[in-house]
A and B are shown apart, each in its own frame.
Chain A
Amino acid sequence: MNLLELNGVTKRFGGITACKEISFGIAPGQIMGLIGPNGAGKTTAFNLITGVYDLTGGTILLEGKPIQGARPDEIVQWGVARTFQNIRLFRNLSVLDNVCIAADLHETYSLSAALLRLPQVSRRERAIREQAMEYLAAVGLEERAALRADSLPYGLQRKLEIARALALKPRLLLLDEPAAGMNPEESLDLARLIRRIHEEYQLTTLLIEHHMDVVMALCEKIFVMNFGVRLAEGTAEEIQTNPDVLKAYLGEGYKRAGN
């Protein structure tokens, strides 16, 4: 069974159809790429999956369970984590606190325990901090735990977002243009990071990206959107040689893998 499945997903905003009859599936453990020109509906698809927007039509299944219409925070609790195209860190909080807020999801204690500061609270708080530091270490940010999130350089902010998403212990990770604004060297570094956490945490990943080197290096399967509809679907090889994709997005002069 696919971990994530979209069936005929459609989203209309008044007169504009942002997504029309989008269907695809991601098998557990796969890394899939979602590519296409700007305005193709990719981030809308993310917003639909994460419950930020309501569907106009179709269904979204998470391990067979329909999640459309659920609240965003419920969907996160069921195991979906995302990063944002324009970073949404808690800018004024510390790097560590950003991750702790995510780690809070799984380390629970009741409100009354919190208000009375029962012993278990101190223990759990320590556990939360340790967990958070582990995730920071996974992305290489453990040295900067006490700094303000917005004092980090751009590339590190993106990594912090990823660490934060990891701390939610998701089954499905949605990355929205994680390499945006990075130079080629940083992008490849990021690709390595994503590959590493994919292996380490067994994370099924859906990736929106415009940096084709990152996409082609990482993704086993690619879904191409254009003007809200499916343009093509297949492996990296297939997509790079698909004439429609070349015409609409990659460009006929696109250097194919292996050439």
Chain B
Amino acid sequence: MLDYISGVITFSLIYVIATVGLAIFTGFTGLFSLGHAAFFAIGAYTAAILTYFYDVNFWLALAAGGAMSGLVGFIIGYPTLKAKLRSDYFAIATLGFGEAIRVLLENLDITQGARGLPGIAAETTLPVTLAVAVLTIWVARNFVSSRQGRAAIAVREDFVAAEMMGIDLFAVRLRSLIFSAVCGGVAGGLFAHYVAFIQPSMFTAYLSTQLTAGVVAGGMGSITGPVLAAVIFVALPEMLRVANIWRLVAYGLLLVGIMIFRPQGLFGYQEITWRSCRNFWKRLTGSRAEPAKGGQG
């Protein structure tokens, strides 16, 4: 039983890492991506290939997975962001990118195509994932409360005004993309060494959807919100034994529902801090509190 719970938590934390990355990209910089599963896949395959075929140390392989994803993020991001594509076409371009990665993974020799890579070392344990997750969240929070984080928020809020503040739109967006790619890659590497067998069909739009749903539900403009949402999205269906398909139906409905009824997500633009919990309680019990959003106070 303890093993089972530990497994669920480990699995959730893997998703947390990827979701935090996407939160910086979509939640804080305002860019929509339909292909983030690709970064997860790149990280998973890079790390797995390194440990399986070349006996590389696990941590190095993990870092390499993240780095590879980051590099690909740069390669994809540079032309598409430089061209200042309107956001829906940027999203479509990311879709194409995801497709290209899938084709690549299914056709390269080293990835063993659609058969997948079995027998990967099961190096991902709860302490490992916890450490990486905490590190990721810490770095993300530092980013958000810094001038670079403010710049990203400004770009999301009104990119025309942001440019007038001396903010280089391209650099901000590319940076967020690379960060989210690295997070996705690291999470992918952890994933590969947890499930011990990967194949291209595991990295589909289903994954991208789950991550996006986590960010939207958690609140665009919050880090802790998506963290909590990511955990819930893994743990809850697990406990309720919900089949994958119905999960997706729920995610779809959730995305639309949140957009219509509560666009700020479950946790709004606030981080979950003691102060915000107190504020929430105060508001619930009728006293006044109307803090501004932004995650910085």
Cβ-based interface call for B148 (8 A): yes
In the bound complex, how far is the Cα of B169 from the Cα of A114, in angstroms? Answer: 18
**Interface 1/0s, chain B 38-52, versus A by CB < 8 A?**
000000000000000
Residue contact A88 to B147, C-beta cutoff 8 Å: no
**Interface 1/0s, chain A 148-182, versus B by CB < 8 A?**
11010000000000001000100000000000000
Given contacts A90-B154, A114-B142, A117-B142, contact A72 B164 (CB under 8 A): yes
Cβ-based interface call for B88 (8 A): no
Residues of A with C-beta under 8 A to B151 = 101, 104
Cβ-based interface call for A126 (8 A): no
Q: Which residue of B142, B147, B165, B291 is within 8 Å of A116 (Cβ)?
A: B142
Interface size class of A (residues with CB under 8 A): 35 or more
Q: How many Å from the CB of A93 to the closest CB on chain B? A: 5
Cβ-based interface call for B150 (8 A): yes
Cβ-based interface call for B167 (8 A): yes
Given contacts A97-B294, A114-B148, contact A168 B165 (CB under 8 A): yes
Residues of B with C-beta under 8 A to A168 = 165-166
Residue contact A102 to B165, C-beta cutoff 8 Å: yes
Given contacts A107-B147, A111-B148, A146-B291, contact A89 B161 (CB under 8 A): yes
Q: How many A-B residue pairs have CB under 8 A?
A: 110
Residue contact B157 to A92, C-beta cutoff 8 Å: yes
Q: Which residue of A90, A97, A108 is within 8 Å of B158 (Cβ)?
A: A90
In the bound complex, how far is the Cα of B158 from the Cα of A122, in angstroms? Answer: 26
Cβ-based interface call for B163 (8 A): yes
* Total B residues in contact with A, Cβ cutoff 8 Å: 33
Residues of A with C-beta under 8 A to B169 = 73
Q: How many Å from the CB of B151 to the closest CB on chain A? A: 7
Given contacts A92-B157, A97-B296, A111-B148, contact A73 B163 (CB under 8 A): yes
Residues of A with C-beta under 8 A to B163 = 52, 71-73, 76
Residues of B with C-beta under 8 A to A196 = none
Cβ-based interface call for A105 (8 A): yes
**Interface set of B (CB-CB < 8 Å, partner A):** 139, 142-143, 145-151, 153-154, 157-158, 160-169, 175, 269, 290-294, 296-297
**Interface set of A (CB-CB < 8 Å, partner B):** 50, 52, 71-73, 76-77, 81-82, 84, 88-95, 97, 100-102, 104-105, 107-109, 111, 114-117, 121, 124-125, 128, 146-149, 151, 164, 168
